Amino acid sequence: MNIKILNQSILDFDGDLIIVNLFEGVKIPGGATGAVDKALHGVITEMIKNEEITGKLGETIVFPTFGKIKPGKVMVVGLGRSDKFGIEEIRKASGSAAMAAKKAKAKKVGTILHGAGIGGIEPEIASQALAEGTILALYEFNVYKKTENKRIEEFFVVETDKSKIEKIKKGIYTGSILAESQNIARDFTNEPANNLTPEKFEKKVKEIIKDLGLAEKIKITVMDKKEIERLKMGALLAVAQGSDNEPRFIVLRYENSKGPLISLIGKTVTFDSGGISLKPSEGMGAMKGDMTGGGVVFATTVALARADVKINLLTIIPAVENMPSGSASRPGDIVRAMNGKTIEIISTDAEGRLTLADAICYAEKEGAETIVDIATLTGGCAVAFGDVTAAVMGNDQALIDQLLMISKDTGERMWQLPLFEEYEEKMKSDVADIKNSGGRLAAPITAGIFIKYFVEKAKWIHIDIASKEFSEKDRFYQPKGATGFGVRTLFEFCTKLKL
């Protein structure tokens, strides 16, 4: 969606619906909402008095104007409490309003800029959040299903203050890039596994880069099974060997700086049956989303390139399918990673970390000084944090602090877990350098310990997003389905990275 800007009064907007706002607890609206209220002879004030409007965050109410002003309908969206108001609240309010406008079948919509007035948020930041919330909320995945067209055709930010227009344009531009990129990641996760094998993942990546005109900015190298074997990536190959769909090791280079090389690595298991350590059949269909990390790092790379961010970036997508068969790896097998370290396979369902091990070895071989991996890695993360919070671990506290601070603004919640040396005992093997599973206790941490074992020199962060890849219901700017969790945080992290 292309969000446009109009320098005029919201009362003069010629469209189906206008969106104004209200903080919780306000009895008499001011600003643009007050102007609309006055033009409608106090109807909003009356609704507040009757408790039909409370201003609760994300609350929406739509009512007709009966020709008293140009727009056919008015929506009031709640901003929540003013003392808790921030960037994420703008996203949530904007997303809720966009979903409600779509439900109301509005085709041409105008909105005031939430938070840039009494909310005290800078216009550029507020407009970026508004664009993100709106575009993310209106996302649909209808590739395989015919649906009624309820799409909003035109969307405008209406601002009376001419001095704010350029800042608003800049914010909307950045916010649109981020939301559109996150929607790319959502598309990958929503895609069924039969149409997103490692080979088809490669094809989709190439098509998107070409369609967005980024072929000159993002250079792509893809290694097939033979090349992966030549590189001696025995850990990755162990995961892939049970599937008829051969692996792909996808490498993207975006070089827009002479600075230190940063590497983003995303777990990309296009379908995870668990292998010989077969998962229960109930809910297995959701394992099409086990490639979410790869979709997220690809989408982040696209966003960085579109925004022309100055960075020297190496993005790695180790794409495999984990299936049970006569050729599949077994519990008890020992495999050798690219750097020569041996791994005893305790569970073939602890497969993602094997692919990440070889990807990290490759990143360091290419000279990466900072590595961030993101993965739907452990059921333990889902148990501990549910579908809200990602687990963060790493070997550099300053870097972790940067990431956690950024995540507060992006609204993608993250929490640090420890990598205490006592946990290393759980990963010791009697027959190999390390084993791939330490059991159920502290599973997210022992998985982090395993990945850390393959980091030699680089500063490194691991983000476990298990159960964050899908949302079971609509909420604010997140429609039911794939989330694309992590794109905006990784973008801001790479943009603001202090090395």
Over residues 474-490, the pLDDT tens digits come to 999 999 999 999 999 99
How do strand 108-111 and strand 154-158 relate by DSSP bridges?
parallel
The DSSP symbol for 478 reads B
The dihedral over CA atoms of 411, 184, 240, 448, expressed in degrees to the nearest 10, equals -10
Percentage of the chain beyond pLDDT 90 is: 97
pLDDT reported for residue 47: 97
What three-state secondary structure class fits 129? helix
pLDDT tens for residues 355-371?
999 999 999 999 999 99
Angle at alpha carbon of residue 29, lines to 26 and 32, rounded to 5°: 140
**What is the length of the chain?**
499
What's the mean per-residue pLDDT of the chain?
Answer: 97
Residue 422 has pLDDT above 80, yes or no: yes
What are the phi and psi torsion angles at 148 (to 5°)? Answer: -65, 135
Residue ranges of the chain that CATH labels 3.40.630.10: 178-496
Band of residue 148 on the pLDDT scale cut at 50, 70, 90 = confident
Q: How far apart are CA 187 and CA 34, in angstroms?
A: 40
pLDDT tens for residues 176-230?
999 999 999 999 999 999 999 999 999 999 999 999 999 999 999 999 999 999 9
Please indicate whether residue 279 is annotated as part of the active site: yes
pLDDT reported for residue 150: 78
* CATH 3.90.1150.10, domain 178-496, yes or no: no
pTM: 0.97
Q: How far apart are CA 298 and CA 141, in angstroms?
A: 19
Please indicate whether residue 91 is annotated as part of the active site: no
Domain at 3-142+152-159: CATH code = 3.40.220.10
Band of residue 499 on the pLDDT scale cut at 50, 70, 90 = low
Catalytic annotation, pick one of 92, 108, 288, 353: 353
Residue ranges of the chain that CATH labels 3.40.220.10: 3-142+152-159
pLDDT higher for 117 or 416? 416
What are the phi and psi torsion angles at 45 (to 5°)? Answer: -60, -40
Catalytic annotation, pick one of 279, 336, 341, 408: 279
pLDDT tens for residues 448-473?
999 999 999 999 999 999 999 999 99
Q: What are the distances in angstroms from CA 329 to CA 7, 60, 232, 422? A: 63, 53, 16, 29
Structural contact between residues 466 and 378, judged by C-beta atoms closer than 8 angstroms: yes
Average pLDDT of span 153-157: 98
Band of residue 147 on the pLDDT scale cut at 50, 70, 90 = confident
pLDDT reported for residue 335: 98
Band of residue 412 on the pLDDT scale cut at 50, 70, 90 = very high
DSSP codes, 351-379: -HHHHHHHHHHHHHHTT-SEEEEEE---H
SS in 3 state form for 165-177? HHHHHHHHHHHHH
Structural contact between residues 461 and 403, judged by C-beta atoms closer than 8 angstroms: yes
pLDDT reported for residue 149: 76
The DSSP symbol for 441 reads T
Query: From edge to edge, which strands make up the β-sheet containing 342-344?
Result: 334-336, 342-344, 434-435
Average pLDDT of span 82-94: 97
pLDDT tens for residues 14-45?
999 999 999 999 999 999 999 999 999 999 99
Residue 498 has pLDDT above 70, yes or no: no
Q: What are the distances in angstroms from CA 380 to CA 165, 286, 435, 447? A: 47, 16, 18, 10
